[in-house]
Each structure stands twice: as structure tokens, then as C-alpha cells.
Structure 1
Amino acid sequence: MTIHSLYIYDRHCTCVYYQDWHRTKRPKPAVEGGILPAVSQVVSAVFPLNADGNIATSSAFNSPRNTLSSTTGIVVATNSAMNQLPVASISSSVTQAPGGSTTGLPFDEEAKLVYGVIISLRNMIKKLSGKDEKFVNYRTSAYKLHLFETISGYKFVMLSDPRTDSLRFVLRQIYVGPFLEYVVRNPLVKMDSREQGIDNEYFRNSVDKLIRGLSVFS
């Protein structure tokens, strides 16, 4: 059993965060303008270049990686190092998948499909079983999708091995732990701005540590 990927959608139906672990086929980078900046470097749109060969900052991916250190109470605002990296290393990290294998879908299209499935199944369940019934997961022969929705409208979606038990408690742990600590309580993160995602170094590292510590992660 294993965990494949994590998506977080805001109340505006927009994917604001993505992370994966055991994907055999990585999605293609999103088209320019297809996703918000600071969702994930690995699926960001290909960067346009200036005449001098440097990244055009006007439309290039920019992850502010702003965090609030809970142990010191000091606001840490570290500028993205994207503009300091060689162009070759950036393009290779964004466009190449492990083994050179991709799904054939740009990430923005994949994110829309995942969200569309969630909304369709949730609406179907409410119509068939009543408003009190909740959609929490579904299983196919290839994967299992797990859903946790917050009162504020954020949706945490995880794809795992089809044999995995419900991981809704894990999604809730991500919400009440790293998400509240490094996103909601971080004054430098713009919630519901519709301008950028929530790619945050502390948040991403905390989620990664939590997932890798699970018994189902292999």
C-alpha cells in the first residue's frame, strides 16, 4: 500500500496546493495561466525567458515561502530563490518526470477533473441519500480517493493505493496541524486571494514528514 498525491482546493474551486510521493506518471506542467503561482514548482507552467536568457519575473513562478515560526514568534519572509537558479535546472525540475513518463494531461486539466469528480459524486450522494450523508472516499481498481472538507470550504483530497483504509483522519491531521499552523495563522499567507497558492516551505516539509511517517506509506 502507498500514498500517491495530495491536492488542496479553496472555496473558489481552485487548486492551491499539490504534492506527490509515489506517482508512476507525473502530470505535465500546467499551461501558462492555468494554475495559480505557488501551487507546486513541479507542475508550474514553463517559464518564459527574457532576451538575456533570464527568467521573466512578470509571469514566472514565484513562491514567497513565507512562514511564521511558532517556536520563536518571528515572522520569516524568505524570497524565492527561483531567479537565482540556472535556467536549465529549473526547466528540468518542472518539465521532466521520473523515468520521463507523464500522464499526457497538463496539471491544470488534471486538477479540474479531480475536483469535478468530487463535486459530481458529492451531489449525487446528497440527492440519493439526503443532505446528512457525506461523501468521504471512493475506490477504483487503480486508486482510492479520500476527501476531507473543512467548514470554511477547503477540500483536502488524497489519492492512495486502492487497498488502503480510509485516510480521512490523515487529511484532518494535515488540516488541524500544518495547515492551521503554517497557513491559517501565518499573516504573510494570503488566504482566498485568488492570486497565488499556499506553497510554503514549512507547510510542505511538515506534510511530507507526516505522510512519510504513516504505516501505509511505503
Structure 2
Amino acid sequence: MTIYSLYIYDRHCTCVYYHDWHRTRRPKLAVEGGILPAVSQAVVALAAETNSSTLTIYSSPRNTLTSASGVVVAVNEMNAQSAVSPLLQAPPSPVGISSTGLAFDEEVKLVYGVVLSLRNMIKKLSGRDEQFLNYRTSAYKLHLFETLSGYKFVMLSDPGTESLRFVLRQIYVGPFLEYVVRNPLVNMDSKEYGIDNEYFRTSVDRMIRGSSFFP
């Protein structure tokens, strides 16, 4: 089984988080203003990456209190860019990996459009008690977990993967509640920033890589 990518959409139908693992064709960078800042530095232009206002408290070079020791470390302003966690930096494009030819902001709209259309179709054809959980094509399988507050967790995997709804739920009840919902620095109703911070991204990455279905 192979996990390709994870999208999180908020109640405003906006992508607030993105993470990928085994994509063979990376999306093109989103156009300026096409997505919220702090969704993922892998899909934004360099100008947005180097804008310090888009960094969260966890990735900010001024967050000098180490979680392990509690020791305050002085950080020079000149070293601000190097202080950002490697998980929050745009990964280099692997040799031989091609682009999808589609900008990331267009990609997230298509993914959400598919989810919304299929969910509405199921409700109209089968009644309100039926839920849209996943669907499969010859190339991938899409998994959906929706919270009562309107957040949608969407994961793409290879077609042979069993339902990953329980994984999406674990991400929600674990890192999402811990580092996003209970974080007083995150505005859950904001249309200005995504939810990308070092603790949340690291926890999601560790959870996926440590699972039995991750190759």
C-alpha cells in the first residue's frame, strides 16, 4: 500500500494543509494569492516562502524556546531562514520526477470539487443516511473523513489500499486536536492562514511513516 498525499479543507471550502509522501508527479507551484499562506512551502512561490509573516509560531526563528530542554537560545536575524525546520522547507524536485502540469491551487479545487459532487450525488440517490467514504479509480483511491465542524480530511493512496478513514480520524483526534484546535495561537475561523506548523506537520509525518500501511 502506498500513501500519496493528504489535504485538509476547512469549513470555508479552502485547503488549509497539504502533505505528500509518494507522489510521482509533483504539482506546479500555486499562483500568487491562489492558496493561503502556511499551507505547505512545497507548493508556494519562493517569495511566499521567505515572507516571515507567513511563518507560524512553531516555525518562526524567534521561537527560541527549545521543547526538549526549555533553554532559551539567541538566534541571529541573519540566520532566520536557516532556523526553519526542514519539514517546512520546500523539498528539492527529485531527478526524473515530472510535474502534473497543473498549478496546486487548481489541483486542490478539483479535489474538493470531486468530493463535494460525489457526496451530494450520494445523498440525492441514497438518502441522507448514506455517507461518502471513498472511491477508487485505476490510478488512485480517495479517502474522506469529515468532522462535525466542517473540516474535511482527504487522503489519496494507491487503488489497492483498504479504507484509510480510521487513519484520517486518528490524525483528527490526535495531532489536529492537540496542535490546532487546542492551540490558542491558531484562529480556527480565519481565512488568512493555513494550519502548517512544525509540531503538527512532524506529528502527521511520524504517524503516517510509522503505520503498518506505509511502505
TM-score using structure 1 length: 0.82
CA distance in 2, matches of 1:82, 1:159: 39
Q: Classify 1:36/1:161 alpha carbon distance in 2 versus 1 (closer, same or farther; 3 Å).
A: same
Query: Which amino acid letter does the alignment assign opposite residue 63 of structure 1?
Result: L
SS of 1:47 mapped into structure 2: helix
1:1-218 equivalent positions in 2, closer than 5 A: 1-47=1-47, 57=51, 62-66=54-58, 84-85=80-81, 94=90, 97-99=93-95, 100-218=97-215
Give 3-state SS (helix, strand or coil) of 1:98's partner.
coil
SS at match of 2:17: strand
Q: 5+ unaligned residues in a row in structure 2: which ranges?
A: 60-64
Q: How many residues of Structure 1 are paired with residues of Structure 2 in the alignment?
A: 197
Q: 1 CA distance for matches of 2:192 and 2:78?
A: 18
Instruction: Give the Cα–Cα distance (whole angstroms) in 1 for the partners of residues 27 and 53 of structure 2.
Output: 17
Question: 3-state SS of the aligned residue for 2:45?
Answer: coil
**Offset of 1:165 from its aligned partner?**
0.2
Residues 150 and 83 from structure 1, CA distance in 2 versus in 1: closer, same or farther, beyond 3 angstroms?
farther
1:138 and 1:64 mapped to 2: Cα distance? 34
Distance apart, 1:213 and its partner CA: 1.3
Tell me how far 1:37 sits from its aligned partner. Answer: 0.3
Asked if structure 2 preserves the Cα contact closer than 8 Å seen for 1:38 and 1:61, the reply is no
Q: CA RMSD in A?
A: 2.8
Distance 2:78 2:123 in 1: 45
Find the counterpart in structure 2 of residue 52 from structure 1.
Answer: none
Partners in 1 of 2:113 and 2:182 — Cα distance?
29
In structure 1, stretches of 5+ residues that fail to align are: 50-54
Identity of aligned residues (%): 71
| Residue 174 (structure 1) shift | 0.2
Q: Contact between 1:62 and 1:82, CA under 8 Å: does it hold in 2?
A: no
